[in-house]
């Protein structure tokens, strides 16, 4: 059977690309190894950053997500030892959205499968590639579980098959892997009350991180991302270690009357993986198959939506017969550099190292400077190039602002605050780490909602 595009993997990236190509009038095979159209990824925190908002709207996914109960987050409070960074009220930062994958994946698959021109082929695992003598990829070989094989031919094969991409392996695409020195667990609560500012909170601690995020059906998702030196504590008594960690978060959620409605979900090792998004003629990689980042900044779903849309934007016309596919793939690779720039920074953050002095200064400045807070939020939501925050102008503004606010003749902070020093753009705060043998929740700590 011949197609214009064969997409391997009917999850976020694959369904987005298939929908876009189908709407462009192309014939699309969307091949998924799972047999049930309702299958979903379980290991995902599903917080989709605001940077994906435009694509979600353009693809017509945003409204159906809301109709399925998705929670919209317009501003996250970020804790620092110098006080909370409160989201600016009239911010231009696009909203984030959260819908559990048990709802999101079937929703996207339904939209893609109903798009004219798209054949959704569930229960087909890709086990081989069709390769031309020229080196171009020209199709896939699938298995339905038995010995029978099906050959699908297409002008473009798209690997949307996740971080362990079979397509990339079969095509011998080089893999660049980097360590992640944190692990993570989360769970969901009914009836939790949040105590920090914004409609969700992030605690960048040194070197651990925690989040409290609204999710669909009124649930509150609480997640912890400790550095791996705490792995033994969590291995010994996972739930107790999680509870201790959350109980000690400054201005953390009130869970006393809340009901935990899931087990702890998470993983103890999740390295970062990167591959060339346009590695061979006739082949493109999107979503995790191209870049599987550290889960801490919650970028993966957004990258999957966006890279799929960028690929379709770059190549649909060439596939419809209007130009060079190779040139179109190069254009996709250029668009993907947006992700590559953030991924380079994310890999450094994944090392869980102490923040630099400049990072700390910018974060402290954001507590009282709404413009720096806005830029920090744009960066955090991946809604603009990293230079929105990482530029000399922001650093100068931060340092000048901090100097102006420093009381004359005295130290810039109280000793208690120095203990809980804040961090940089994506880095953790120093000195306050929930968990033994550190300060307990009952002991007095810095007054975190005070402004310097
Ligand atoms: C612990 C954890 C927490 C995370 N939390 C967040 C978060 O809060 N926010 C966020 O944005 N991101 C998060 N992510 C990342 C996010 O889950 C991924 O980036 C996202 O799922 C990538 O989507 P994808 O469509 O590229 O791949 P996937 O969702 O992995 O889908 C790949 C699809 O390909 C199919 N497939 C695989 N092999 C084959 C084959 N041989 N033949 C046919 N089909 C095949 C699979 O069945 C699957 O349907 C998290 C990741 C982890 C590990």
What is the per-residue pLDDT across 133-176, written as a single tens digit (0 to 9) for each? 999 999 999 999 889 999 999 999 999 999 999 999 999 999 99
Q: For residues 78 and 121, what is the distance between their CA atoms, to the nearest angstrom?
A: 43
- Give the per-residue pLDDT at 104: 98
Q: Is 125 in the pocket of ligand 1 (CB under 6 A)?
A: yes
Beta pairing class for 283-285 and 184-190:
unpaired
Label residue 139 left, alpha or beta by phi (over 0 means left) and psi (-120 to 50 means alpha).
left
CA quadruple 175, 181, 183, 184: dihedral sign: negative
Q: CA-based diameter of the chain, in Å? A: 81
- Give the per-residue pLDDT at 419: 33
Q: Which residue has the tokens 């004359």?
A: 408
Q: Is 12 in the pocket of ligand 1 (CB under 6 A)?
A: yes
Q: Is 47 in the pocket of ligand 1 (CB under 6 A)?
A: yes
Q: Are 245 and 435 in contact (CB under 8 A)?
A: yes
Q: Is 32 in the pocket of ligand 1 (CB under 6 A)?
A: yes
Q: For residues 102 and 125, what is the distance between their CA atoms, to the nearest angstrom?
A: 21
Which residues of the chain fall below pLDDT 50?
A: 410-431, 436-452
**DSSP H or E run through 84:** strand 83-85
Residue 206: HSE in the Cβ half-sphere, 13 Å Cα cutoff: 19
Nearest to 183 by CA among 14, 414, 352: 352
Kindly give the distance from the C-alpha atom of residue 342 to the centroid of ligand 1, in angstroms, as a whole number: 18
Burial of 163 (0-12, 13-18, 19+ CB in 10 A): buried
- Give the per-residue pLDDT at 91: 78
- Give the per-residue pLDDT at 322: 82
2-46+100-179+271-346 folds as FAD/NAD(P)-binding domain (3.50.50)
Q: For residues 29 and 4, what is the distance between their CA atoms, to the nearest angstrom?
A: 8
- Give the per-residue pLDDT at 413: 40
Q: For residues 385 and 57, what is the distance between their CA atoms, to the nearest angstrom?
A: 20
Q: Are 268 and 231 in contact (CB under 8 A)?
A: yes
- Give the per-residue pLDDT at 292: 98
Q: For residues 225 and 296, what is the distance between their CA atoms, to the nearest angstrom?
A: 7
Kindly give the distance from the C-alpha atom of residue 10 to the centroid of ligand 1, in angstroms, as a whole number: 10
Q: For residues 186 and 43, what is the distance between their CA atoms, to the nearest angstrom?
A: 10
Kindly give the distance from the C-alpha atom of residue 14 to the centroid of ligand 1, in angstroms, as a whole number: 10
Residue 437, preceding peptide bond in cis (omega within 30° of 0):
yes
Beta pairing class for 184-190 and 265-267:
antiparallel
Query: What is the separation, in whole angstroms, between the first and last Cα of the chain?
Result: 67
Kindly give the distance from the C-alpha atom of residue 437 to the centroid of ligand 1, in angstroms, as a whole number: 36
Say how many C-beta atoms besides its own lie within 10 A of residue 60's C-beta.
11
Q: Is 9 in the pocket of ligand 1 (CB under 6 A)?
A: yes
- Give the per-residue pLDDT at 433: 61
Q: For residues 206 and 226, what is the distance between their CA atoms, to the nearest angstrom?
A: 9
DSSP category for residue 429:
P
- Give the per-residue pLDDT at 431: 39
Q: How many residues does the chain have?
A: 452
- Give the per-residue pLDDT at 434: 62
Q: Which residue has the tokens 């993997």?
A: 9
- Give the per-residue pLDDT at 196: 96
Domain ranges for the chain: 2-46+100-179+271-346, 357-419
- Give the per-residue pLDDT at 1: 60
């Amino acid at each position: 059977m011949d197609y214009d595009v064969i997409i391997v993997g009917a999850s976020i990236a694959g369904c987005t690309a298939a929908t876009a190509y189908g709407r462009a009038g192309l014939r699309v095979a969307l091949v998924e190894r799972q047999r049930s159209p309702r299958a979903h990824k379980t290991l995902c925190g599903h917080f989709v950053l605001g940077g994906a908002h435009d694509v979600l709207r353009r693809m017509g996914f945003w409204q159906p997500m809301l109709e399925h109960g998705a929670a919209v987050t317009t501003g996250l409070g970020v804790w620092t030892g110098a006080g909370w960074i409160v989201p600016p009220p009239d911010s231009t930062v696009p909203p984030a959205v959260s819908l559990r994958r048990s709802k999101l994946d079937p929703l996207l698959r339904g939209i893609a499968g109903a798009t004219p021109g798209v054949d959704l082929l569930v229960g087909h695992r890709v086990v081989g590639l069709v390769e031309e003598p020229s080196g171009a990829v020209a199709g896939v070989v699938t298995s339905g579980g038995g010995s029978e094989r099906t050959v699908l031919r297409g002008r473009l094969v798209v690997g949307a098959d996740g971080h362990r991409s079979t397509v990339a392996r079969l095509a011998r695409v080089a893999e660049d892997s980097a360590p992640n020195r944190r692990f993570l667990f989360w769970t969901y609560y009914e009836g939790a009350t949040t105590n920090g500012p914004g409609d969700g909170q992030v605690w960048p601690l040194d070197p651990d991180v925690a989040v409290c995020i609204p999710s669909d059906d009124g649930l509150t998702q609480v997640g912890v991302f400790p550095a791996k030196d705490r792995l033994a504590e969590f291995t010994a008594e996972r739930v107790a270690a999680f509870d201790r960690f959350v109980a000690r978060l400054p201005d953390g959620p009130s869970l006393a009357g809340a009901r935990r409605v899931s087990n702890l979900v998470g993983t103890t090792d999740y390295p970062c993986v990167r591959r060339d998004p346009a590695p061979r003629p006739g082949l493109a990689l999107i979503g995790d198959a191209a870049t599987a980042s550290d889960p801490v900044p919650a970028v993966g779903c957004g990258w999957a939506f966006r890279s799929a849309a960028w690929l379709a934007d770059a190549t649909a016309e060439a596939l419809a017969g209007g130009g060079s596919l190779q040139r179109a793939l190069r254009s996709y690779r250029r668009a993907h550099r947006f992700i590559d720039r953030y991924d380079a920074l994310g890999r450094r953050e994944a090392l869980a190292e102490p923040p630099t002095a400049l990072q700390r200064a910018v974060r402290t400045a954001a507590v009282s400077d709404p413009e720096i807070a806005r830029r920090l939020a744009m960066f955090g939501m991946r809604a603009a190039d990293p230079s929105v925050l990482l530029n000399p102008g922001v650093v100068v503004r931060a340092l000048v602002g901090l100097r102006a606010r420093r009381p004359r003749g005295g130290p810039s902070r109280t000793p208690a605050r120095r203990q809980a020093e804040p961090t940089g753009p994506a880095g953790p705060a120093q000195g306050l780490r929930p968990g033994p043998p550190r300060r307990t929740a009952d002991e007095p700590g810095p007054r975190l909602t005070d402004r310097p």
